[in-house]
Every structure is written in structure tokens, then in C-alpha cells.
């Protein structure tokens, strides 16, 4: 393919050299004439292992060169890869001036071409930049339509400094956020020689992925350092401890607990977290990340409450009362907190949980339930049909077969899925419900996938006195 790489900074230089090595014809565009001069002499404008050799090889084969103005080459190219910087302003907002300048040049180049061309954003941006900022600029300056006359893709990079060439050829995955299938097909072909899993997603999902990846890396480092400070005060070898933490690949270093959903609860997680925080304070160790976990968990309950109120329902059915399926352990179940808040707001509640039977519930478990929900005798149902018949909004809080095979749910009932049953292959009764997001039109029957929301921070629902 004929490719233009816009920006010969760290990412752009690596991408240009590696694509040329893969057999593509590549032109690098860089406004700094000194960088262009260095590049065309066969040297990398930045220090990175193996780059000098790759640039020299690409130039010798006639597949690689750099220019200061790329507009004139757009009409004959198949793709433009935007690799310019998006530095942060003082308030954390991104500077998009470089993307804007490149978009104007690409658009002007497309105006004089009938060739199908795919614009690929590799710069790191927040969701909405591609669709709401880059796309209008391209259409404005090209007088052509995205999705018809040219393609648009978000293709985040995962290059580590000093390992960039290796990472280009062996990434964890290739992610293509596509405006349409034709756009995605073209860029999938560009990376056809890369042996890595390929994921094709929406523009916004690809945009957010790189930001989330880097944030997760920062979170892991911050978490480990907080544990390290506690270990230091206790005289414990933090590396031995964290090696054991990482050795658990079933729960700790795994996809477990990394699926957005409802708040956590139960007898272990809240208790042990409080214990660690308390003892760290006793030791005089500040642990702001761990300190924020329980407040964040509370906000997740509030986010579900807000979503329920947005449906306008006066009677809410809730499937699942304990903190997870298969147990009647109700200690610190976030569902109980949600019910208590909804009840205080004046909503009628019906609850069904096949594991919770008031006639056999004993001891502290029963006392906890009666203390937290004194109205439990009134709202708990012994069969699921009673809940389905009474409710205007149905809230699913557990993954269990009974809840993935719901029959006879009325068409007007909104479903708030806190555990993403709608994505499970076992779902039958909910199969007719289409997920609602800001990208989709609302169907007659609606299921609301719950992945968390921060709207609880800026929106409240006034409670109704009982």
C-alpha cells in the first residue's frame, strides 16, 4: 500500500520505518526540516534500537522518504496515518492543534482526488475527537463524505520506548476502530503480516482503549507502591509478597473482576479493605488509592439508582438479593443498599432470590437482613413470576440460569442489566432486547446494560417521604 505517515516523532518514525520494512511505500511528513534532513540521510531523528538500520534499508529500497509538505501526495496514497502529538494543557485537556493542521492538509489533498483513501488516527485522544472533531474537518476541507469517499479509522499504538520495533511486529493485539467495514478492511490489510489478535471495534472504543491501558498501568504501579509502603513499615519484603499476588492467575492477574458492572460486597472484600486502610493509618502510611476504593464502590450503587429513576418506573423488580448467585450470605450486599435507597425514594419494590428463604435463614444473616431491610417480609417474593408481573423496571443483579431464560416479560418493562446477561450466549428470554447506548436508537423493548456511570456525581433524585 501507499502510506503517508504524518509526524516523525517517536511513534511516526517507528511506524514509517516498520511499514516500509513490511513492503509498503511510505512517505513521512514532518514540518521540522532538520528532522527531514536527518531522516533522509538514513538516521533516526530519535534514539531507538534498530531504527537507523530500518530507515537506511527503507531508503535504499526506495520505499521510504521524508518530506516537509505531504498534501500533494495524498491523492495518490491509500492511507494517511496521523501520528502527531496531543500534549496536555495545564488543566488536563488535550491540545488538538497538530491534529487540526494535519486534517486540513489531508482534506485539501483529498479534494483533488477520486481515489479511496483511509485516514487513520494513531494519536492518543479521548472518545469523540475522531467523530466530532477530525471527521468534520476532513469533510470541510475535502468537500467529500466520510464513509463514502474516504474511510476513517482509529488505530491505537502500543509501543514502548526502547522496545518499539519489537512491539510493532509483536503487539498484544491490533485494534481497529472503524467508521465502517470498508475502512476497517483496508487497515486490516495494512497489518496483514502482523501475527497478533485483531479486534475491530467502534471508533470511540478504540479511542478510549489507549487511555484506559495507560491509566491501568499507572493504577497498578500506584497500588503496588502503596502496598510497598505498608510492607516497609511492617518489615515485610514487598517483592516476595507481590510475587505471590501475581502468581494467582485465576483471580489476581486475570480477566476476573475486570468487567464493569455493579458494586462489590460480601463478607470479605469490604472487611479486609477496611482492615488494611485502618492498619495503614495506624502505621502512619498514606494510601490515597486504597482509601478511595470504598467511596468509589458506593458511587456505583448510586449510579444504578440514577439509572433506575431515569426509566420513570414506580414499581421496580429486582432479581437477586445476595451479593452473588449460589449463596444466601447477605452481608454487605450492595443490592440491599440499592433497595434501601429506592424504598426511601418512594418506589415500590419486589425482590426474588431463589437462595434467600426467610423461613430457613438463621442467626446473624437473618438479623442483618431485618436490620437493613425491615420491610423484607413485604417485598420478598417466593417466585419470579410475581416480580415480572408487578414491575415496570426489572433489575438483574446476578448471573444465574433462571435470569437468562426469562419468559413472559411485558413489552413496556425496561431491564437494567447490572451483570451483562444480555452478552451471554445462554440468554434466551432477553434475546429480543437490544442494548441501548448513546450510539443507538431506543427500541420498543429496552435492556439497559450497566457498565457504571459518573452521573451520580452531578445528578440527584429527590427522595419521596414515606
CA 387 vs CA 383, 396, 400: distances in Å: 7, 11, 16
Neighbouring residues of 311: CB distance < 8 A, sequence distance ≥ 6: 392, 393, 414, 416, 448
Place of cell 509483536: 170
Angle among Cα 239, 243, 246 to the nearest 5 degrees reads 135
**Residue 268 annotated in active site:** yes
How would you classify the pairing of strands 198-201 and 348-352? unpaired
* DSSP state at residue 96: -
173 labelled ligand-binding: no
233 labelled ligand-binding: no
Neighbouring residues of 257: CB distance < 8 A, sequence distance ≥ 6: 251
86 labelled ligand-binding: yes
331 labelled ligand-binding: yes
**Region for residue 161 given its phi and psi (left: phi exceeds 0; alpha: psi -120 to 50; beta: otherwise):** beta
Place of cell 470498508: 182
424 labelled ligand-binding: no
Neighbouring residues of 203: CB distance < 8 A, sequence distance ≥ 6: 127, 130, 131, 152, 153, 154, 177, 178, 179
Active site residue: 18, 83, 268, 391, which one? 268
Distance between CA atoms of residues 107 and 71, nearest Å: 8
441 labelled ligand-binding: no
321 labelled ligand-binding: no
324 labelled ligand-binding: yes
160 labelled ligand-binding: yes
The CA-to-CA distance between both ends of the chain, in Å, stands at 69
Strands (E), 290-367: 315-319, 348-352
Distance between CA atoms of residues 285 and 283, nearest Å: 6
Q: What are phi and psi of 429, to 5 degrees?
A: -65, -25
Q: What are phi and psi of 314, to 5 degrees?
A: -100, -20
111 labelled ligand-binding: no
Longest Cα–Cα distance in the chain: 83
346 labelled ligand-binding: no
271 labelled ligand-binding: yes
124 labelled ligand-binding: yes
Whose CA is closest to 341, among 387, 291, 307? 307
110 labelled ligand-binding: no
Distance between CA atoms of residues 100 and 129, nearest Å: 11
317 labelled ligand-binding: no
Binding residues, by number, are 35, 86, 124, 158-161, 210, 257-261, 265, 271, 324, 331
Binding residues for substrate, by number, are 158-161, 210, 257-261, 265, 324
Which sequence positions are flagged as catalytic?
268
Binding residues for NAD(+), by number, are 35, 86, 124, 161, 271, 331
Amino acid at each position: 500500500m501507499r502510506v503517508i505517515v504524518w509526524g516523525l516523532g517517536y511513534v511516526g518514525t517507528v511506524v514509517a520505518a516498520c511499514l516500509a520494512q513490511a513492503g509498503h511505500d511510505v512517505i513521512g511528513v514532518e514540518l521540522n526540516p532538520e528532522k527531514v534532513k536527518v531522516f533522509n540521510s538514513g538516521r533516526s531523528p530519535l534514539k531507538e534500537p534498530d531504527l537507523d538500520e530500518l530507515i537506511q534499508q527503507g531508503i535504499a529500497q526506495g520505499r521510504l522518504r521524508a518530506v516537509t509538505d505531504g498534501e500533494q501526495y495524498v491523492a495518490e496514497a491509500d492511507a494517511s496515518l496521523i501520528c502527531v502529538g496531543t500534549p496536555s494543557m495545564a488543566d488536563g485537556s488535550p491540545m488538538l492543534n497538530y491534529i487540526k493542521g494535519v486534517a486540513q492538509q489531508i482534506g485539501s489533498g483529498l479534494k483533488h482526488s477520486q481515489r479511496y483513501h483511509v485516514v487513520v488516527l494513531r494519536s492518543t485522544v479521548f472518545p469523540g475527537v475522531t467523530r466530532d472533531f477530525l471527521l468534520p474537518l476532513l469533510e470541510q476541507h475535502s468537500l467529500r463524505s466520510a464513509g463514502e469517499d474516504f474511510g476513517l479509522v482509529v488505530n491505537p499504538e502500543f509501543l514502548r520506548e526502547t522496545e518499539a520495533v519489537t512491539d510493532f511486529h509483536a503487539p498484544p493485539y491490533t485494534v481497529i476502530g472503524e467508521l465502517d467495514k470498508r475502512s476497517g478492511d483496508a487497515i486490516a490489510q495494512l497489518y496483514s503480516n502482523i501475527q497478533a489478535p485483531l479486534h475491530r471495534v467502534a471508533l470511540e472504543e478504540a479511542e478510549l482503549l489507549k487511555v484506559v491501558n495507560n491509566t491501568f498501568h499507572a493504577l497498578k504501579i500506584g497500588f503496588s507502591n502503596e502496598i510497598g509502603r505498608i510492607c516497609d513499615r511492617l518489615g515485610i519484603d514487598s517483592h516476595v509478597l507481590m510475587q505471590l499476588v501475581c502468581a494467582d492467575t485465576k483471580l489476581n492477574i486475570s480477566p476476573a473482576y475486570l468487567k464493569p458492572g455493579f458494586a462489590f460486597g460480601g463478607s470479605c472484600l469490604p472487611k479486609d479493605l477496611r482492615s488494611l486502610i485502618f492498619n495503614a493509618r495506624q502505621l502512619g502510611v498514606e494510601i490515597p488509592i486504597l482509601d478511595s476504593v470504598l467511596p468509589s464502590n458506593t458511587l456505583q450503587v448510586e449510579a444504578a439508582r440514577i439509572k433506575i429513576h431515569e426509566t420513570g418506573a414506580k414499581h421496580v423488580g429486582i432479581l437477586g438479593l445476595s451479593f452473588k448467585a449460589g449463596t444466601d450470605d447477605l452481608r454487605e450486599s450492595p443490592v440491599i443498599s440499592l433497595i434501601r435507597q429506592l424504598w426511601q425514594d418512594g418506589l415500590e419494590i419486589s425482590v426474588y432470590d431463589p437462595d434467600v428463604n426467610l423461613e430457613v435463614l438463621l442467626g446473624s444473616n437473618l438479623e442483618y437482613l431485618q436490620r437493613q431491610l425491615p420491610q423484607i417480609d413485604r417485598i420478598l417474593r417466593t417466585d419470579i413470576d410475581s416480580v415480572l408481573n408487578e414491575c415496570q423496571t426489572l433489575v438483574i443483579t446476578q448471573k444465574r440460569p433462571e435470569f437468562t431464560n426469562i419468559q413472559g416479560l411485558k413489552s413496556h418493562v425496561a431491564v437494567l442489566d447490572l451483570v451483562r446477561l444480555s452478552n451471554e450466549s445462554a440468554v434466551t428470554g432477553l434475546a429480543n432486547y437490544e442494548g441501548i447506548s448513546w450510539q443507538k436508537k431506543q427500541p420498543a423493548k429496552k435492556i439497559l446494560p450497566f457498565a457504571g456511570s459518573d452521573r451520580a456525581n452531578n445528578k440527584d433524585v429527590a427522595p419521596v417521604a414515606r
